[in-house]
Amino acid sequence: MARDDAVIGCSGRLLVGTRGPEGPGEVLVSVRGGSEAFLAWSDAPLVAGTPVLVVESRGTRQVDVIEWLDPLEAPAG
C-alpha cells in the first residue's frame, strides 16, 4: 500500500502506547474530516493517551509519530 501523505502533519492521541524501536502502538488521528486508526511507531516509547503529531507515513496504515502539545490547545500560564 502506498504512503498516505494526507495524514502527515495531522495530530492524534495514542490508543495503545508505543515501545520505541521494539514495536508499534496505535494512534487515532484526526484526518479527512473524521478519525482513523493507524499503527504508530516512535523513536522512544510513548504511553497510551499521549498527544502526538504524525511526521511520516510508512504506508499500509502505519505512521511515525512524535509527542506533540498543540500550542493552540496548551493551557495558559
pLDDT at 36: 96
Query: Does a structural domain hold residue 61?
Result: yes
Query: Does a structural domain hold residue 16?
Result: yes
pLDDT at 2: 84
Structural domains in the chain (count) = 1
pLDDT at 10: 95
pLDDT at 72: 76
pLDDT at 77: 60
Instruction: Give 68's contacts (C-beta < 8 A, 6+ positions apart).
Output: 11, 51, 52, 53
Domain containing residue 43: CATH number = 2.40.50.140
pLDDT at 22: 95
Query: Does a structural domain hold residue 75?
Result: no
Residue 58 belongs to what domain range? 5-67
Task: Give the Cα separation of 21 and 10 in Å (integer).
Answer: 22
> Which residue stretches of the chain have pLDDT < 50?
none
